[in-house]
Chains A and B, each alone.
Chain A
Amino acid sequence: MDCAIETTDLTRRFGAVAAVSGLRLSVQAGEIFGFLGPNGAGKTTTIRMLCGLLAPSEGTARVAGVDVVQDPEGVKRLVGYMPQRFSLYGDLTAAENLDFFAGIYRLANSLRRERVAETLRRVGLWERKDALAEHLSGGLKQRLALACALVHGPPILFLDEPTAGADPPSRQRMWDLLYEVAGEGRTILVTTHYVEEAERCRTIGFMHQGRLVGGGSPEECKGRFTETLLEVDAAPVMQAAAALREVEGVTGVSVYGRLLRVFTRPGAVSAERLAAILTDRGAGARGIRPVPPTLEDVFMSLTRLAETGAEDR
Chain B
Amino acid sequence: MIAVILHVARKEFLQIFRDRRSLVLILVMPILLTFLFGKALETGDLRSIPSAILNEDDSPESNVIATAFSTYGEVQLQGEVPDREAAYLSLSEGKIKAVIIIPKGFMKQIEAGEEAQLQLLLDGTDNNSAPIVEGVAKRVIQRYNAERAIKGLWAQGVRPDRGRRLIQPVYVQTEIRYNPGLQYLSYVMPGVIGLTLQLLTVMLMAVSLPRERERGTLDQLLATPIARTELILGKLLPYFVISLVNVATILVVADRGFGVPVVRGLPLLVLLCALFVLTSLATGLLISAVSHSQFQAVQIAVFYVLPVFMLSGAYAPIEVIPDYIRPISYLFPLMYFSRAVRAVTLRGADFLGIWRDVVVLAGFVLVFVYWAVLAFRKRTS
Interface of A with B (CB < 8 Å)? 51-53, 55, 73, 76-77, 79, 81, 83, 85-92, 96, 100-101, 103-106, 148
**Residues in chain B near residue A105, CB distance under 8 A:** 224-225
Could you tell me if A91 and B15 are in contact, using CB atoms closer than 8 angstroms? yes
Query: Could you list 6 A-B pairs, sorted by A, with CB under 8 Å?
Result: A83-B220, A87-B215, A96-B11, A103-B3, A105-B224, A105-B225
| Contact of B18 with A91 in the complex, beta carbons under 8 Å | yes
19 more CB-based (< 8 A) A-B contacts, given A89-B11, A104-B4:
A51-B223, A52-B223, A53-B219, A53-B222, A73-B225, A79-B223, A83-B223, A87-B216, A87-B219, A88-B220, A89-B215, A91-B18, A96-B11, A96-B14, A100-B7, A103-B3, A104-B8, A105-B225, A106-B3
B15–A76 contact, CB under 8 A? no
B225 x A89 contact (CB < 8 A): no
Given A92-B14, A103-B4, A106-B3, the answer on whether A83 and B216 have CB atoms closer than 8 Å is yes
A81 to B221, CA, bound (A): 10
Q: Is B226 an interface residue (CB 8 A)?
A: yes
Q: A55-B381, A96-B11, A96-B14 are in contact. Are A81 and B4 (CB under 8 A)?
A: no
Q: Which residue of A lies closest to B226 (CB)?
A: A104
When distances are taken between beta carbons in the complex, the residues of chain A under 8 Å from B59 are none
B145 within 8 A of A: no
Contacts of B15 in A (CB 8 A): 89, 91-92
- B305 to nearest A CB, angstroms? 26
Q: Which of B7, B217, B223 contacts A88 (CB 8 A)?
A: B217
Residue pair A106, B4 in contact (C-beta under 8 Å): yes
B319 touches A (CB below 8 Å): no
Cross-interface CB contact of A86 among B19, B216, B381, cutoff 8 Å? B216
Given A55-B381, A87-B215, A87-B219, A100-B225 contact (CB < 8 Å): no
Q: In the complex, which residue of chain A has the Cβ closest to the Cβ of B6?
A: A103
> B14–A76 contact, CB under 8 A?
no
A87 contacts B220, C-beta separation under 8 Å: yes
Give the shortest distance, in Å, between A200 (CB) and chain B (any CB).
Answer: 25
Shortest C-beta distance, B211 to chain A (Å), equals 10
Closest chain B residue, CB of each to CB of A90: B215
Q: How far is the CA of A104 from the CA of B223 in the complex (A)?
A: 10
A148 touches B7 (CB 8 A): no
Q: Which residues of B line the A interface, CB within 8 A?
A: 3-4, 7-8, 11, 14-15, 18-19, 215-217, 219-226, 381
CA distance A53 to B381 in the complex (A): 7
B223 touches A81 (CB 8 A): yes
Decide: A53 and B14 in contact? CB cutoff 8 A: no
Question: B224 near A104 (CB under 8 angstroms)?
Answer: yes
Q: Whole-angstrom distance from the CB of B233 to the nearest CB of chain A?
A: 14
Contact partner of A148 among B18, B19, B215, B220, CB < 8 A?
Answer: B220
Find chain B residues with CB under 8 A from A101 CB.
220, 224
B9 → A minimal CB distance (Å): 11
Chain B residues with CB under 8 A of A96: 11, 14
In the bound complex, CA of A92 to CA of B11 (Å): 8
> Nearest residue in B to A51 (C-beta to C-beta)?
B223
What 5 A-B pairs are tightest by C-beta distance, nearest first? A87-B216, A103-B7, A81-B223, A87-B220, A76-B225
In the complex, chain A residues whose CB is within 8 Å of the CB of B221? 104
Contact A53 B223 (CB under 8 A): yes
| Beta-carbon contact of A77 and B220 below 8 Å | no
Residues of A within 8 A of B225 (CB): 73, 76-77, 104-106
Tell me if A89 and B217 are in contact (CB < 8 A).
yes
- Return the chain A residue nearest B380 by Cβ: A53
How far is the CB of A49 from the nearest CB of chain B, in Å?
12
The residue on A at minimum CB distance from B224 is: A104
The CA of A92 and the CA of B221, in the complex, are separated in Å by 15
Contacts of A77 in B (CB 8 A): 225
A221 to B225, CA, bound (A): 37
Cα-based distance from A88 to B224 in the complex (angstroms): 13
Partner of A81, one of B18, B217, B220: B220
Contact A76 B215 (CB under 8 A): no
Q: Assuming the A-B contacts A85-B216, A91-B19, are A100 and B11 also in contact, with contact meaning beta carbons closer than 8 angstroms in the complex?
A: yes
Residue of A nearest to B231 (CB): A104
Q: How far in angstroms is the closest Cβ of chain A from B8? A: 8
Return A68 CB to nearest CB of chain B, in Å: 12
B87 to chain A, nearest CB (A): 64
Knowing A91-B15, A91-B18, A96-B14, the reply to whether A104 touches B216 (Cβ < 8 A) is: no
Bound Cα distance from A62 to B225, whole angstroms:
17
- B95 to chain A minimum Cβ distance, whole angstroms, is 54
When distances are taken between beta carbons in the complex, the residues of chain B under 8 Å from A103 are: 3-4, 7
Question: Which residue of chain B is the closest to A85 with respect to CB atoms?
Answer: B216
Are A83 and B226 also in contact (CB < 8 A) when A92-B11, A103-B7 are?
no
Shortest beta-carbon distance from A61 to chain B in Å: 15
- B7 neighbours in A (Cβ, 8 Å): 100, 103-104
Closest to A97 in B: B11
Inter-chain CA distance A51–B223, complex, in Å, is: 7
